[in-house]
Amino acid sequence: MPLADPPLVEARGLARRYGAVRALAGVDLTLRRGEVLLVLGPNGAGKSTLLRSLAGLLRPTAGSVAINGRMLTRDDPDARRPIGLLSHQSLLYDELTLLENLILAGTLYDLPDPPARARAALTAQGLEHRADDRPRSLSRGMQQRAAIARALLHDPALLLLDEPFTGLDAVAGDRLRELLREHCTEGRGMVIVTHHAAEAWELATRVGVLLQGRWAFESPRPPDMAQFHRVYQELARG
C-alpha cells in the first residue's frame, strides 16, 4: 500500500516565550499541498512568531515543526529548502544589485546556473531592465517584486508571507495577489499572515485567527467575509 504524502507543514504543540511573555501557546497546524492558510489576529497575537517558527528562523520553546515530513532542526539545513519567505522586508542587500542579490540566493540554494535563474526570476517580475540597480533605488512596489523574485527563485513548495501587502498601493497589491494565485498550484501551499482579511481573502482555502498565541478560530474559509469579519471582531474584543 503506498504511503500518503506527508503534509507540507505539520506543527505540533508549538510554543514560544519571550521572557515572561507567551507569544505562542501550543499551536497545532497542518497544511496540505494546494492549501492556503490565512492567519489573522490583532497586534501581539503571535502571528509573526508563528510564521518565523514555521520558517525555522525562531526556535520554539516547545513543540515541533516538520516541513514535507522533515523536522526543522538546526542539524538539518536541507529541511528548510522547500521554504520561501516573503515579508514587508525584502531580505535584499542594499549595496548589491538585484542580479547580485539573486545570484547569491541561487548559490546558497545550490541552483544550477544561478545567473541564468536570477535573470529568469527578474524577467518573470518585469524587472530585467533593473537587474543592475540596487534595491534602494527602486519604488516600494518594485522592491516588493524583487523580494518576490528572491522568494520564488528556488521554486519553494511552501511560501510563508508575513504582511506581504504592507506599503503596496492598490495596483501593486492586485499584482501580488495575481502572482500568488498563479504560484499556488496543487503541489504547493501558503501561509499568509496579515491584519486585514480582505487583502488575501480570495486566495485563502482556510482561515485561522490567533489570539494570545492560541487558535481562537480555525476552519475552511467561510463563504461570507463580512459575516466572518463580525465574528473576528467579537473574538478580537474577547
Residues in contact with other proteins by CB under 8 A are: 52, 55-59, 74, 77-81, 83, 85, 87, 89-96, 100, 104-105, 107-110, 135, 150
* Cβ nearer to other proteins, comparing 52 with 221: 52
Least CB distance from residue 236 to other proteins, whole Å? 27
Least CB distance from residue 60 to other proteins, whole Å? 10
Least CB distance from residue 75 to other proteins, whole Å? 8
Least CB distance from residue 107 to other proteins, whole Å? 4
Least CB distance from residue 167 to other proteins, whole Å? 13
Burial classification of residue 101, based on how many CB atoms lie within 10 Å of its CB (0-12 exposed, 13-18 middle, 19 or more buried):
buried
* Cβ nearer to other proteins, comparing 45 with 146: 146
- Contact (Cβ atoms closer than 8 angstroms) between residue 165 and residue 38: no
* Cβ nearer to other proteins, comparing 59 with 196: 59
* Cβ nearer to other proteins, comparing 59 with 181: 59
* Cβ nearer to other proteins, comparing 99 with 204: 99
